[in-house]
Amino acid sequence: MPNPILQVRDLETVFSTRSGTTKAVDRISFDVYPGEVVAIVGESGSGKSVTALSLMRLLHADDVTTEGSAVFSSTKYGEVDLLQLREQQLQRVRGSEISMVFQEPMSSLNPVYTCGKQVAEVLLLHTKLSKKEAKERVLQLFEQAKLPQPERIYKAYPHELSGGQKQRVMIAMAMACRPALLIADEPTTALDVTVQARVLQLIDELRVQENTAVLFISHDLGVVAGIADRVLVMYQGKVVEQGKVLGIFTNPQHPYTKGLLACRPQLSTPPQAILPTISDFLPESKYNDTTGEPEKKTRTAGVTATSSTYTADAAKHQKPVLLQAQDLKVYFPVQKGFFSRTAEYVKAVDGVSFEVKYGETLALVGESGSGKTTLGRALLRLVEPTAGRILFDGQNLTCLSPEELRKSRRHFQMVFQDPYASLNPMHTVGEAIMEPMQVHNFYKNDKERRGKAMELLGKVGLPEESFQRYPHEFSGGQRQRISIARALALKPKCLICDESVSSLDVSVQAQVLNLLNSLKQELQIACIFITHDLAVAKHMADRILVMNKGRIVESGTPDMLFEQPRHAYTRMLIDAIPKGEPEDIKAAQRQRAALKAGML
């Protein structure tokens, strides 16, 4: 057995605030061996990212103290404690022997430098390569990272690349100096399932080629199942469970681990069943995103929901059509040349037709760039359609004047992906919910509107005191609940949810999905659910439309699509879903062993 590349003992990170001190990391210990992938899993606030930042000494604030030891086997200095290493030595270790891939590549890449120059800078700083040799090495790294047209990517700026391409540039940068340890902090969060699969495969290939140890941080156990050798489960700053990945998935011991595994909807989860949350497994803890009255649910709730599925489906088929899109097109001009003439068009939505009935949930799935978000915005005319018709409740929205369109939107609301960006930070939650009621002259006066806003806060599981608070005082899941309350303020007939749970922790995601399902049933609202997560789409939808390159390539009920997909693109999306089942974990381990044998 080789010696560990990293030995962490009693690591503790404390934040000092006006109200006292908070232990973000509470005396945790673990080892990482060469060529091994150790995953740290847990939700936001569990301490997993702070652990990584503490090891890299990237927490420089005066109100942060870090204790314990992190012994790293450095080729330059031998065994050194990263927490005690001199700053000059630490800078030589960081980037060359230890590298980090951050969650958000756009904020990690400098927008004013080309991607190639940024990766070359790392090589010029830590190696003796010339500029020409550094460029050749960067192009080689881009090829390893499966980036298309490495020469073009070298000259491209970050904003010219997709999210998956930017993340692969970050991985190429991290692997530039062949580090002994790679720390990957949520590297696939909010990426499409296919892009996610490619990024995970790339990390694994580079790990095998360079015998690099990987510390992989994630809140998604499904992702961890396919890449990790060992797993550490963190909760409230402590490691509550650790072990081999197969053992954690097949025989979890701690209630929090059981909760993480149960919260995420699986392909086998009954449609629209009530999902369990962490609070179901830790009833005595203070963990609860709602802070309001907990939802009343039992383990039989999912069974009850599925037993009435056929009756509900039959009723939905008999209902009239609420929304129709007829040959809808959205083309964006591409201007080239000195006179900026239109040379061609990007066909974001290319002749799409479908219908949604009253009370029905329709899911739009596809990768980034498939056109699903543009289609959702075009339905509300937030993006003007190039051609086609949108019929909503018998009214042609494409022919309405701006004033008529504003009035019609009270029946057709949208919940956006980032709730913080969609809420005005200068307005209290109460003002945000009351604003649409004031614009559309709902109720007689502000006193009645205030009462309705309070009622809506209760409906989405938030206490009355939330009315006077500001968006920054809430967690991500709570802000998404506020956005849903705001969308419901005008009693809409249809909601468009655009990736509304894609970046949320699994338990918070479960809470929001449960909330949306209960509100749909209670208020009989139609819903267009836009997502790249097929497991979530299967759980939420009555029908699914699969989009690729602006067109609908396949449609049908969730059971039809998942059991007998007809289109190759649909099959590819389904195959890329992280399964997390024991047989899938064993298959992934065999595949990784074969990859290692083939490369050695």
Residues 484, 529 within the same domain: yes
- Check whether residue 585 and residue 561 sit in a common domain: no
Euclidean distance between CA atoms 406 and 440, whole angstroms? 9
Within 10 angstroms of residue 135's Cβ, the number of other Cβ atoms is 18
CATH code where residue 237 lies: 3.40.50.300
The answer to whether residues 494 and 534 belong to one domain is: yes
Using the 3D structure, point to which of 176, 206, 221 is the last residue of a domain.
176
Quote the DSSP letter at residue 294. Answer: P
* Secondary structure (DSSP) of 480-501: HHHHHHHHHTT--SEEEEESTT
> Is the same domain home to 150 and 215?
no
Q: How far apart, in Å, are the Cα atoms of 64 and each of 21, 59, 236?
A: 10, 7, 17
Q: For residue 504, is it within any domain?
A: yes
Highest mean pLDDT among 59-63, 320-324, 586-590: 320-324
Same domain as 472, residue 541 = yes
568 within domain boundaries: yes
* Average pLDDT across the chain, whole number: 86
Residues 359 and 438 in one domain: yes
Same domain membership, residue 161 and residue 234: no
Question: What is the spatial distance between Cα 23 and Cα 29, in angstroms, rounded to a whole number?
Answer: 15
599 and 546 housed in the same domain: no
Does residue 304 fall inside a structural domain?
A: no
Q: Give yes or no: residues 56 and 79 share one domain.
A: yes
**pLDDT > 90? residue 479:** no
In the three-class reduction of DSSP (H, G, I as helix; E, B as strand; rest coil), residue 387 is classed as strand
Give 584's pLDDT tier (boundaries 50, 70, 90). Answer: confident
Query: Is residue 278 domain-resident?
Result: no
Shared domain check, 450 and 328:
yes
**Mean per-residue pLDDT for 326-347?**
80
Of 143, 176, 209, the residue at which a domain comes to its end is 176
Residue 136 near residue 160 (C-beta atoms within 8 A): no
The H or E element spanning position 148 is: none
Strand order in the sheet with 412-415: 412-415, 494-498, 526-531, 361-365, 543-548, 551-556
pLDDT tens digits along 303-315: 333 333 434 454 5
Residue range 532-577, pLDDT digits in tens:
888 899 999 999 999 999 999 999 999 999 999 999 999 998 888 8
All residues at 6 or more sequence positions from 224 whose CB lies less than 8 Å from its CB, including other chains: 39, 41, 216, 218, 231, 245
Q: End of a domain among 118, 152, 176?
A: 176
Is the whole-model pTM more than 0.95?
A: no
Please report where in the chains the tokens 């002749």 appear, as a residue: 351
Separation between Cα atoms, residue 463 and residue 106, nearest integer Å: 36
Domain total for the chain? Answer: 3
Asked if residue 345 is part of any domain, the answer here is: yes
* pLDDT tens figures, 492-515: 999 999 888 876 778 788 888 998
Judge whether 301 lies within some domain.
no
Please check whether residues 87 and 65 belong to one and the same domain: yes
CA distance linking residue 77 with residue 80, whole number of Å: 7
Residues 596 and 592: their CA atoms lie apart, in Å, by: 6
Q: Where are the alpha helices (DSSP H) in 127-240?
A: 131-144, 150-155, 163-174, 193-210, 221-225
Q: Per-residue pLDDT tens for 167-184?
A: 889 888 988 888 999 999
**Amino acid 129: pLDDT:** 92
Question: Which residues constitute the domain of residue 109?
Answer: 105-176
Please report the DSSP string for 440-479 in residue order: TT-SSSHHHHHHHHHHHHHHTT--GGGGGS-GGGS-HHHH
pLDDT of residue 561: 92
293 inside domain: no
Task: Note whether 59 and 197 are same-domain residues.
Answer: yes
Q: Does residue 29 lie within any of the structural domains?
A: yes
